[in-house]
Every structure is written in structure tokens, then in C-alpha cells.
């Protein structure tokens, strides 16, 4: 499989700046990566699923949790804070009702400060944009590891 075209590097540069801002935000990296993996699963972005699963594994995430992200609601492996983030990420990605429910927002507010919640919203929006690049351009899973 070959990507359709080279990524638009000017746009990627600005997207990378958003990633840098997120790394400096108060949102815990573990939550940020968990959300990126789940949103990428929902969007069917094989490149991002592969990348974030490997990044999480390298950061010490357990196989049990990695294998269960897709079924997080049915497993005991995630904290209430993580569940609130995953629920917000799912609703913010699918937008099937045209908005995030008040219940989901209220639950997220219980587990995150306003600064953390703002950073979580940025993380959800950013990974959704990255997923669009990956899916539309048919980015090849594992290609970053192979070129390193």
C-alpha cells in the first residue's frame, strides 16, 4: 500500500505546533494518548491506531488495557477519569446527536479542571483532524517505525 500523496508539510507544521502545546498542557499524557487511540479506532485510521498503540506500549501501557480500549465500557481496566475522557472523546467524534450531551460534559467536569478539560477538547479535535489526513491520504501503518 502506498500513500496517495506526500503530506502537506505546511499544514503538518501547524498541526505539530498543536501537538507541542498539548504536551505542555496540564492534561496527563496517559489520558491524551488513550483518547487519541480511541478516536483513531472510531475513525478507522489504521496509521494512527498503530502509532498510538505503539507509543502507549513504549510508555509502559499494559497489553490488557491496550486490547480493551475498543471495549472500555465493558471492562474494569479504566479509571473513572479515563472513562469520562473516553466518553467525551466518543461523543465529540461521532456527533450523532449534533452535540456532546450535557451529562457527558458534566461527568468530564467532575474529573478535570477547566484547563485540563480545555486541553482534552483540543486533543479530541486535533486527533480527529490527524485521522482525516491519515484516512484520506491512506497513510501506511508502521511506516514511521520503519523509516526510523
pLDDT tens profile 77-121 = 999 999 999 999 999 999 888 899 999 999 999 999 999 999 999
Cell numbers found for residue 19: 501537538
Q: What is the pTM of this model?
A: 0.91
Q: Is 80 exposed, middle or buried (0-12, 13-18, 19+ CB in 10 A)?
A: exposed
Can you spell out the DSSP letters for 9-46?
A: HHHHHHHHHHHHHHHHSSS-HHHHHHHHHHHHHHHT-H
Number of domains in the chain: 1
Residue 49 lies inside a defined structural domain of this protein: yes
Does residue 126 form part of some domain? yes
* 135 touches 93 (CB < 8 A): no
Decide: 127 and 18 in contact? Cβ < 8 Å.
no
User: Could you report the per-residue pLDDT of 118-133, keeping only the tens digit for each?
Assistant: 999 999 999 999 999 9
Determine the structural domain holding residue 41 and report its residue range: 28-142
Residue 82 lies in a domain: yes
Instruction: Reply yes or no on whether the pLDDT at 144 is more than 80.
Output: no
Domain-embedded: residue 10 = no
Per the domain annotation, does 23 fall within a domain?
Answer: no
Closest alpha carbon to 93 in 60, 59, 120: 120
Which of 8-12, 54-58, 68-72 comes out lowest in average pLDDT? Answer: 8-12
In a domain, 78, yes or no: yes
Q: Is residue 6 part of a domain?
A: no
Does the residue 8 lie in any domain?
Answer: no
- CATH number, domain containing residue 121: 1.20.1290.10
Amino acid at each position: 500500500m502506498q500513500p496517495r500523496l506526500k503530506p502537506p508539510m505546511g499544514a503538518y507544521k501547524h498541526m505539530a505546533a498543536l501537538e507541542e502545546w498539548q504536551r505542555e498542557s496540564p492534561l496527563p499524557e496517559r489520558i491524551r494518548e488513550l483518547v487519541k487511540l480511541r478516536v483513531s479506532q472510531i475513525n478507522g485510521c489504521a496509521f494512527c491506531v498503530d502509532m498510538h498503540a505503539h507509543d502507549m506500549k513504549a510508555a509502559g501501557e499494559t497489553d490488557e488495557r491496550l486490547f480493551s480500549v475498543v471495549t472500555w465500557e465493558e471492562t474494569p481496566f479504566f479509571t473513572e477519569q479515563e472513562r469520562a475522557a473516553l466518553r467525551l472523546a466518543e461523543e465529540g467524534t461521532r456527533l450523532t446527536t449534533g452535540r456532546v450531551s450535557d451529562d457527558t460534559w458534566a461527568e468530564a467536569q467532575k474529573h478535570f479542571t477547566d484547563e485540563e478539560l480545555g486541553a482534552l477538547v483540543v486533543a479530541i479535535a486535533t486527533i480527529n483532524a490527524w485521522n482525516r489526513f491519515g484516512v484520506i491520504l491512506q497513510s501506511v501503518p508502521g511506516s514511521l517505525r520503519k523509516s526510523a
